[in-house]
A and B are shown apart, each in its own frame.
Chain A
Amino acid sequence: MVYHLHSLALGHRLTLKLRLERPAPSLASVSDIWAAADWMEREAFDMFGLRFDGHRYLARLLLPEDWVGHPLLKDYREEAEYHGISTTREEAAPAVSAGED
């Protein structure tokens, strides 16, 4: 988790990096300090499964609330179906090989 902080009044810049442990990464919410962090923390929860303790409404931001898993984790495997709708196709388009074009 990386925070980029910038003080408009003082011109200070500060970068904070926090290492989190799988399988249940959690950290304190900063949304009560910076309101803009509210939705950003919800997106991080949605996509990476990070738990922000003290967040007032830590629900998925972009995906449906009954979605299974957190898609931007590298070990995420998509479910074959979502409410009976296929999420995969049999033949994906072949990747362009290097050196063509």
Chain B
Amino acid sequence: MPLKTETMILNMGPQHPSTHGVLRFILRTDGEIIFACRPDVGFLHRGLEKIAEQVAYAQFTPYTDRIDYLAAMNCNLGFAMTVERLAGVEVPPRAEYIRVLVAELNRIISHLISVGAFALDLGAVTPFTHALREREWVSDLFEELCGARLTYNYVRVGAGWPLTCPRASWTGWPASWTTSSPG
């Protein structure tokens, strides 16, 4: 005689260890089978566009740190370049070079988290610790540059601040970084 079964609705999240943040799924399940799923997003929505309407352009830069907090330099840069284009402002070549440097370094350490966390999701714990270790080198450089290790607020509209860095610790780093990483 077959067992009597029935479907049920299960709320998964918004807090759940497998979601990398807050995300709610409204699941319709039949035993162990999920046959319908409705994602409910927006728990991290902060209305950045609306905030941007209410502050001066320069005051919005710290918010761009939080758009992608693993790539704050790049988000600063996108916003700064947009305002500069609107205002018809050009930044000096030195600032252009520094922007390329910090954006590329930030891209590399952002990818380290991405690849490391991907390995973690596959069940390999150790690569993530390697990825975090390799980030340290760049995090230290950024800390020297602007005082922050994650939300830098560094690339400003008009490239105004602070161009005194990079200093001595920024020279000779590529060779030591690439040779010190066992891979």
Contacts and interface: CB of A to CB of B under 8 A. Distances in A.
Interface residues of A, number: 13
Interface of B: 41-42, 45, 47, 49-50, 54-56, 58-59, 160-161
Given A72-B49, A101-B160, A61 B42 contact: yes
13 contacts: A61-B42, A62-B41, A62-B42, A63-B45, A64-B42, A71-B47, A71-B50, A93-B59, A95-B56, A95-B59, A101-B58, A101-B160, A101-B161
A71 B47 CA distance: 9
B55 A95 contact: yes
Contact of B54 (A47, A64, A92, A101): A92
B84 to A, nearest CB: 15
A99 to B, nearest CB: 11
A96 interface: yes
Contacts of A93: 55, 59
A63 B59 contact: no
A41 to B, nearest CB: 15
B83 to A, nearest CB: 13
A59 to B, nearest CB: 9
A63 B42 contact: yes
A96 B45 contact: no
Nearest to B58: A96
A7 to B, nearest CB: 27
Nearest to A63: B42
A98 to B, nearest CB: 8
